[in-house]
Amino acid sequence: MLEVEGINYFAVAVAWLVNVVFGAYWYSPAGFGKQWARLSGVDHMKIPEQEATKIIGYVALSAVFQALTLAVILNSLGVAQLTDGLMVGLVLWLGLTAATTVGVTLYQRLGWKFWWINSSYFFVVMTINSAVLTLWR
């Protein structure tokens, strides 16, 4: 059964912040933004401001759901040890993020480099957030 009692919502907020801050860097020109833009054919700077603002809002909202879902899963499993939390994050990333984005990426003909940029971002975020949510139970 899913267990929501005992979730540390401050830790969920920190996990959300980790997601947003790492995402802002990861997809910036200082991170992998230039490679992502080249591989995807999308120039961030050419997206109209109003549309870009909506996209950022949806991404931030989805980060809330991701952090909360990870917290519910870790809490429901009773994960209390860092190594267990990291393992759960790794398994979730591998089975639900990495595996499910292969087909979408390759059918869009975006290639393995594009897949790796996106997938490894979620690997980093889920690893950090699994640690945060496990240690701050």
2 belongs to a structural domain: no
1 belongs to a structural domain: no
4 belongs to a structural domain: no
Please indicate whether residue 4 or residue 90 has the higher confidence score (pLDDT).
90
Between the alpha carbon of residue 29 and those of residues 35, 46, 86, 91, 98, the distances in Å are: 8, 15, 29, 30, 23
15 belongs to a structural domain: yes
Q: What is the pLDDT of residue 137?
A: 81
Percent of the chain with pLDDT strictly greater than 70: 100
**Other C-beta atoms lying within 10 Å of the C-beta of residue 64:** 15
83 belongs to a structural domain: yes
38 belongs to a structural domain: yes
Query: Which of 1-5, 84-88, 125-129 bottoms out in mean pLDDT, i.e. has the lowest?
Result: 1-5
Give the distance from CA 64 to its chain's centroid. 10
76 belongs to a structural domain: yes
Backbone angles phi, psi at 31, to 5 degrees: -95, -120
Domain containing residue 47: 9-135
Number of domains in the chain: 1
Residue-wise pLDDT tens digits, 27-52: 999 999 999 999 999 887 788 889 98
50 belongs to a structural domain: yes
pTM: 0.91
Question: Average of pLDDT values for 98-114?
Answer: 96
